[in-house]
C-alpha cells in the first residue's frame, strides 16, 4: 500500500490492518518480528498514534500480534510453543495466552481400568479404575491437539459428570476439587501417526507428529493425572530461555550422551 485513501469507502485504520496482514502473509514480517513503533508507523501513514493502535488492537484480538510491555509489538507464532522447563501450563492455557480461539470435542469420558503402565505411574492398585478423558482441540475447525487424560478417581469424585467442552481439566482440578497442582514431568518424542492418531487429527498415516507424555503431581508429591498428547509435527515447537554461566559452575545440570541408545539426558550437578 503506497498511501492511504482518505476519501475512499474503507476506514483508514482498516486499510492499515489490511497492509499489516499483507506484511505478515508475504513474510516481510515473519514470526516474532518486532513491528516498527507506533510513532514510526503514524509518521509513515500520516495518521494519529490512536489509529495505529486501533489497527494493532484488532490484529492482537485475532491472535496475530502480541504486545509485550516495555518491549514492543511482535508477530505471533502460528504454532503451539511450549517452554521446555519453565512454568507448568496446559496446552489450552498456552492457546489462551496467545489469544487463539479453539474448540474442544470430547470423544469419550468414562470410568475404566487404565492400562497397566498408566496404573503403575498413578500408583493405582491392580484393577482400580481411573477417569479417562479423550478430547480433540481444533483451531479454525482444524484439529491441532489430540489428547487422552487419566485422572486418579478417588481424589475427584463425580468428575465423569463434568462437561469438558466447557471446562478445562486443570481448571476443574484446581477450582472445583481444590487440588494444589505442584509439578509435572514431561517427555517428548517424535513419532509417525498411527491409524488412530491419523484419523483423529485428519492427517495421513505415518505423517510426523510430536507425542508428549506428562505425569502431573500434587504439591505433596502424589500423582494425580497423566496426559498423552499428539500434535501434528508442523504445529509444535519447543522453546527455552538459556543462559551461559561459568563452565566450572557445579550448580548447573550437565548433559550426557549415550552412544548405545543415541539419547541425551540431563544429569544433576555433583554434590
| Range from 69-73, 187-191, 226-230, 249-253 carrying the lowest mean pLDDT | 249-253
Residue 56 has pLDDT above 60, yes or no: yes
Nearest in space to 133 (alpha carbons), one of 155, 103, 163:
163
pLDDT, average across residues 214-233: 90
Q: Which three cell numbers stand for residue 62?
A: 485475532
Residue 196 lies in a domain: yes
- Residue 34 has a pLDDT of 85
Residue 2 has pLDDT above 70, yes or no: no
Maximal CA-CA distance, the chain? 75
Do β-strands 130-139 and 263-267 pair in parallel, antiparallel, or remain unpaired?
unpaired
Per-residue pLDDT of 226-244, as tens digits, reads 999 998 887 766 665 556 7
The domain spanning residue 21 has which CATH number? 1.10.10.10
| Range from 24-33, 42-51, 58-67, 187-196 carrying the lowest mean pLDDT | 24-33
Q: What is the 3-state secondary structure (H, E, C) of 132-185?
A: EEEEEEEECCEEEEEEEEEEEHHHCCCHHHCCCCCCCHHHHHHHHCCCCEEEEE
Cα atoms in the 13 Å half-sphere on the side-chain side of 174: 13
Residue 96 has pLDDT above 80, yes or no: no
- Residue 11 has a pLDDT of 92
Which letter, b or e, does each residue of 16-51 get, where b requires 16 or more Cβ atoms within 10 Å of its Cβ? bbebbeebbeeeebeeeeebeebeebbeebebeeeb
* Radius of gyration for the chain, computed over Cα atoms and rounded to the nearest angstrom: 23
Residue 263 lies in a domain: no
Q: Are residues 102 and 53 part of one domain?
A: no
Residue 264 has pLDDT above 50, yes or no: no
Residue 41 has pLDDT above 60, yes or no: yes
Dist. CA 118–CA 215, nearest whole Å: 10
Residue with cell 551461559: 244
Q: Are residues 213 and 139 part of one domain?
A: yes
Residue 106 lies in a domain: yes
pLDDT, average across residues 91-114: 85
- Residue 270 has a pLDDT of 46
Q: What average pLDDT does the chain have? A: 83
Q: Are residues 101 and 194 part of one domain?
A: yes
Q: Which of 75, 101, 130 is the last residue of a domain?
A: 75
Q: Which three cell numbers stand for residue 248?
A: 566450572
Q: Are residues 158 and 69 part of one domain?
A: no
Cα atoms in the 13 Å half-sphere on the side-chain side of 163: 2
Share of the chain above pLDDT 70, in %: 80
The model's pTM is 0.61
- Residue 139 has a pLDDT of 84
Q: Which of 23, 41, 75 is the last residue of a domain?
A: 75
Q: Are residues 65 and 44 part of one domain?
A: yes
Dist. CA 35–CA 17, nearest whole Å: 13
Q: Are residues 220 and 176 part of one domain?
A: yes
Dist. CA 261–CA 38, nearest whole Å: 52
Q: Are residues 45 and 111 part of one domain?
A: no
Select, from the ranges 144-148, 187-191, 232-236, the one with the highest average predicted confidence (pLDDT): 144-148
Residue 97 lies in a domain: yes
Residue 265 lies in a domain: no
Higher pLDDT, 32 or 109: 109
Dist. CA 54–CA 65, nearest whole Å: 12
Residue 3 lies in a domain: no
- Residue 123 has a pLDDT of 86
Q: Are residues 153 and 68 part of one domain?
A: no
Q: Which residues contact 115 (CB under 8 A, 6 or more apart)?
A: none
The domain spanning residue 159 has which CATH number? 3.40.1410.10
Q: Could you tell me the residue range of the domain that residue 135 belongs to?
A: 80-239
Residue 257 lies in a domain: no
pLDDT band at 271 (very low <50, low <70, confident <90, very high): very low
Dist. CA 39–CA 48, nearest whole Å: 8
Terminal CA-CA length for the chain: 62
Residue 247 has pLDDT above 90, yes or no: no
Phi-psi category of residue 127: left, alpha or beta, with phi > 0 → left and psi -120 to 50 → alpha = left
Residue 33 has pLDDT above 60, yes or no: yes
Q: Are residues 195 and 87 part of one domain?
A: yes
Q: Which three cell numbers stand for residue 197?
A: 492418531
The angle at the Cα of 166, spanning 174 to 109, to the nearest 5 degrees, equals: 80
Q: How many domains does the chain have?
A: 2
Q: Are residues 122 and 214 part of one domain?
A: yes
Residue 192 has pLDDT above 70, yes or no: yes
Q: Which of 44, 75, 106 is the last residue of a domain?
A: 75
Per-residue pLDDT of 153-171, as tens digits, reads 999 999 999 999 999 999 9
Residue 257 has pLDDT above 50, yes or no: no
Q: Are residues 145 and 37 part of one domain?
A: no
Residue 244 lies in a domain: no
Q: Which three cell numbers stand for residue 34?
A: 518486532
pLDDT band at 185 (very low <50, low <70, confident <90, very high): confident
Q: Are residues 156 and 46 part of one domain?
A: no
Higher pLDDT, 213 or 236: 213
Amino acid at each position: 500500500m503506497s498511501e492511504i485513501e482518505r476519501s475512499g469507502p474503507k476506514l483508514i485504520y482498516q486499510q492499515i490492518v489490511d497492509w499489516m496482514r499483507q506484511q505478515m502473509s508475504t513474510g516481510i514480517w515473519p514470526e516474532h518480528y518486532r513491528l516498527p513503533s507506533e510513532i514510526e508507523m503514524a509518521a509513515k501513514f500520516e495518521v494519529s498514534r490512536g489509529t495505529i493502535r486501533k489497527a494493532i488492537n484488532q490484529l492482537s484480538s485475532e491472535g496475530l500480534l502480541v504486545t509485550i510491555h516495555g518491549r514492543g509489538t511482535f508477530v505471533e507464532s502460528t504454532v503451539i510453543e511450549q517452554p521446555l522447563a519453565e512454568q507448568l501450563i496446559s496446552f489450552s492455557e498456552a492457546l489462551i495466552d496467545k489469544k487463539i480461539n479453539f474448540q474442544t470435542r470430547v470423544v469419550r469420558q468414562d470410568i475404566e481400568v487404565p492400562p497397566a503402565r498408566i496404573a503403575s505411574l498413578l500408583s493405582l492398585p491392580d484393577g482400580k479404575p481411573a477417569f479417562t478423558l479423550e478430547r480433540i482441540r481444533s483451531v479454525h475447525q482444524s484439529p491441532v491437539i489430540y489428547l487422552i487424560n487419566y485422572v486418579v478417581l478417588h481424589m475427584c469424585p463425580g468428575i465423569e459428570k463434568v462437561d469438558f467442552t466447557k471446562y478445562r481439566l486443570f481448571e476443574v482440578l484446581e477450582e472445583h476439587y481444590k487440588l494444589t497442582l505442584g509439578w509435572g514431568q514431561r517427555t517428548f518424542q517424535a513419532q509417525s501417526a498411527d491409524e488412530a492418531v491419523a484419523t483423529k487429527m485428519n492427517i495421513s498415516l505415518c505423517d510426523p507428529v510430536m507425542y508428549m507424555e506428562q505425569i502431573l503431581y500434587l504439591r505433596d508429591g502424589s500423582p494425580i493425572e497423566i496426559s498423552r498428547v499428539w500434535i501434528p509435527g508442523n504445529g509444535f515447537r519447543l522453546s527455552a530461555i538459556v543462559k551461559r554461566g561459568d563452565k566450572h559452575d557445579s550448580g548447573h545440570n550437565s548433559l550426557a550422551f549415550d552412544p548405545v541408545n543415541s539419547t541425551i539426558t540431563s544429569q544433576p550437578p555433583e554434590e
